[in-house]
Structure 1
Amino acid sequence: MTVNLPLPQKNDLKPVKGFEMGIAQAGIKKANRKDLLVMTLAPGSQVAGVFTLNRFCAAPVQVCREHLAQDGRNGEIRALVVNTGNANAGTGETGMKHALETCAALAKDLNLNPEQVLPFSTGVILEPLPIEKIVSALPAAVANLGEDHWFDAAEAIMTTDTQPKAASVVVQTSAGPVTITGICKGAGMIHPNMATMLGFIASDVGFAPGLLTSLTREVADQSFNAITIDGDTSTNDSFIIMATGQSSVQIASVTDPNYGVVKDALLGLARKLAQMIVRDGEGATKFMTIEVIGGKTQEECRLVAKAVSHSPLVKTAFFASDPNLGRILAAIGYAGIDDLDVNRVQMWLGDVWVAKDGGRNPSYQEADGQRVMKESEITVKIDLGRGNATQTMWTCDLSHDYVSINADYRS
């Protein structure tokens, strides 16, 4: 079940010049399914990434960080490899060895240095990576490389996702058109920093050295770090932006007139992908936007948005379509703003003004709240009455099916 999430159409996913994908069936967890993805980049491409803050981060995350830090010393990043069905997390030194072996094997097939390869894994934690299956299937993935395999690539990285997640945009700049296409996976164990998810976006833009790194962090904070499903920060979360430099658009600095155009396009696509994860949240029946305004700082707005969107009591009330909205006020109160003046707080549920000056709006009728709560997409707007900062997060409800899906996950 998804919440207003149409299936991506293959013809809508635009090829990115200088970027190819190859898919294979390695039989990592189940036979006869796409579970191995190889991505390659043209020489001169740039790659930047943001990763989980979980201290128990998976071996491939550690290797990715190391290889990105070495980018340029042993040649730029030229390939990525993703396996599903096994997270290679909680696997100790053996897991690190397997992640490095994966890089070495793909590098050999592509005539690269191992440090030019980034590995990614997703699936069950605390189980050994079946390295032999992966290495054996890599040549098939390489032989399958092509620019138009975005839909198959999105399928190849799925775990508990009910459908592939992918999107494209072509944006016009003063220097010519830019193509941006991305895929992601995730439906459970979703919580900011990062919000299990993997996300990959490719573009044909060219960036000056170092510019893509800061841009990727900014885009992540306003998209994949602004979603939550169940409050569990995964061991494997990774978000990667790749720029092949194959278009006529070459950006030298943030003052470049086209920088803002490209940034907005990347952010728009990243938000669309991130919201796809929430719309496909395990057992989700409602998609909720938590908009916090009137904060002194963006950080305190983020604290409130996070508290509300993470609260199991709030999420279960939304599943039941029960306007038990005092749960939201309680979450605002414990969010961590020590000097919050609750008498200045206002709250709206959709178009209904529910809380006024810290208490129930005298004109509020529960029937109005009930009407909004029955909708599949709901916006909660909270005004802290303290300043001009804002923050928006996206979440879903918590249903009986969420428990069932996670109880059966390993079977």
Structure 2
Amino acid sequence: MVAHTKFAPQIKIPATYMRGGTSKGVFFRLEDLPPEAQEPGAARDNLLLRVIGSPDPYAKHTDGMGGATSSTSKTVILSRSDKADHDVDYLFGQVAIDKPFIDWSGNCGNLTAAVGSFAISNGLVDASQIPENGICTVRIWQANIEKTIVARVPITDGEVQETGDFELDGVTFPAAEVQVEFMDPAADDGEGAGAMFPTGNVVDTFNVPGLGDLEATFINAGIPTIFVNAEAIGYNGTELQGAINEDPQALQMFESLRAHGAVKMGLIDDVAEAANRQHTPKIAFVAPPQDYMASSGKQIHATDIDVLVRAMSMGKLHHAMMGTAAVAIAAAAAVPGTLVNLAAGAGDRTSVRFGHPSGTLQVGAEAKQVNGEWTVTKAIMSRSARVLMEGWVRVPGDCF
């Protein structure tokens, strides 16, 4: 007779599965989490890892809510904000797929588009602020990077309007447009110097073993990002995911580049530390416009875009573009002399349309010089968001 072993039963936690921009993730209200997971720490991380299904040596997330890509291995915790002039606090966790690790060092710009919608629908925004019909302005405190983001969410008959005809390359179906404004997106080093450009320069040269000296633009806007020229690393800027993600040597090269760039940016002291900081910084490569076929089969013409950009996320080429990296692109394009600005044809610009693997995206930024230092006051883009499923997630009661 087989001995009966008693295991802890599953518990259920209120949750919403949402798409925001070209990402999707599991959204929670802070108050709905088990008490042990309402504070940062091991219990919270272990719970969210189990929700997503990480670490998964099979890289499938079969036993969790994750989608086994950087765009779909995400968690969000929201609560009413106690900060003046803010409605909701937004905390983002990027969950590693193959290791027991959650990176809390940055934001997800795509999921930001879903934060306002969730907050309105889940009682985190005062009813007096929600019009019967029109636009509800939700002021978000992004807790990871301590920045303000404003989401403008369409409302119909007092409810969030999710359906619409706004099309976003990288997303299969149209939906309602949500405008997202990233206020003062540049990093603040606390000393007012070199905040957006951590080295104080719009272009630097740095050495990467195996690649030699490379030109790069290091920028802290939206998310810390390293821009290099595609040609300098052997690419043309029209690559799709397979060209890089199926090439182990390329992935290793990009990670080395990212690690050495992170040291140059002052984010880490030694390249070995980069392994525990997968979400930031991002590494991206740029090139002047040229024709290419997007991953959907859509033909993109050089005349459709100002610049080509490809970006790595969590060690792989992103299928479209991270929202935070799009902020970095907008900011860099607005500052004369950066590699992004030069690839886009140089000069002054307040918006840029860039080509990514799934298509194109237009982003805008307002840049100015203050005491000789460049800063960006606002970056704007349009996204869409939609609830995919709501109810409860279930996890073993002893997993955290």
TM-score, structure 1 normalization? 0.24
| Higher normalized strand content (fraction of residues) | 2
More helix by share: 1
